[in-house]
Amino acid sequence: MSQKPTSDGPKRVLVTGAAKGIGAGIVRLCVETGHRVVAVDIDQEGLSELHNELPGIETAVLDVRDLAAWERVVASAETQGGPIDVLINNAGVCLPGPCDQVSVEDDRLTVEVNLIGVMNGVRTLLPRFLARNRGHVINVASMAAFSPSPGLATYCATKHAVRAYTHSCSLDHRHAPIHWTLACPSAVETPMLQDMRQRRAGVVVFTEKPMPPETIAGAIVDAIREPRREILVPNTPGKKLLRFIGLFPGLLARGMDDAEQRGLKALDD
């Protein structure tokens, strides 16, 4: 079925990873646009700060890896404030380093947050959406969903998986009035990116200037009003080319030494 907006009116939106970075940007723009927000994060202090800034939002502490916690949080939110219309799976982690040097614990955390967390959100909200005959799932991936990168093996693997999962779910329910959107930003100026700077790993992401969180947040909030299956931010010819080049690992390898050197130079400038 073609994806068309069901309504231009305000929605009730649940945002994961909402305390900082992209998630906080999404929450702010949702509120500005008139949507009602349930902001969830494992970071209780960050949620409190966000609530102080935006007292009209609802907040709940949630570890996205915990399916039972998802059920409790969503049931409570819908009991208190009504049905959730839009799920934005934004929570994510990036723990970079060469694939043989990243710890088993860090690899497991990355997979559980970035992929299982997304699946848990869909598993919790999708039955409600189907029962109500409406709903919208927005999963935040990355340009890493298309292009493997050195120092980011597990992160890239999870983002490739989120893309496949999102579009496969969409095909499972292609005859249902449920919207599915995959958001793929380039590097975004967030605490996650600052940690990558300190580790000096995954440096290819610094070959271009990171965008502010508001840029990708704006594209995601626009997608609530006008659903699209996949959004690239920025939507430039270069990003479309990268999506294509990612199909050819040999081409990627040829340019990777230069890309890493440019990334390191950007860190040192």
Hey, which residues are catalytic here? 155
Predicted pLDDT of residue 226: 96
Residue 56 confidence (pLDDT):
96
Round to whole Å and give the CA distance between 181 and 167.
Answer: 8
12-268 architecture in CATH? Answer: 3-Layer(aba) Sandwich (3.40)
Task: Kindly report, residue by residue over 166-178, the tens digit of the pLDDT.
Answer: 999 999 999 999 9
Residue 23's alpha-carbon distances to 15, 30, 140, 171, 229, in angstroms, are 7, 10, 10, 27, 20
Cis upstream peptide for 234 (omega within 30°)? yes
Cβ atoms of residues 135 and 119 within 8 Å: no
Inter-residue contact 184 to 230 (CB < 8 Å): yes
The whole model's pTM is what?
0.91
**pLDDT of the residue at 27:** 98
Are 223 and 139 a contacting pair, CB within 8 Å? no
Which pLDDT does position 6 carry in this prediction?
43
Enclosing H/E stretch for 266: helix 249-268
Confidence (pLDDT) at 243: 80
List, for the chain, all residue ranges whose pLDDT scores fall below the cut of 70.
Answer: 1-8
User: Which pLDDT does position 208 carry in this prediction?
Assistant: 84
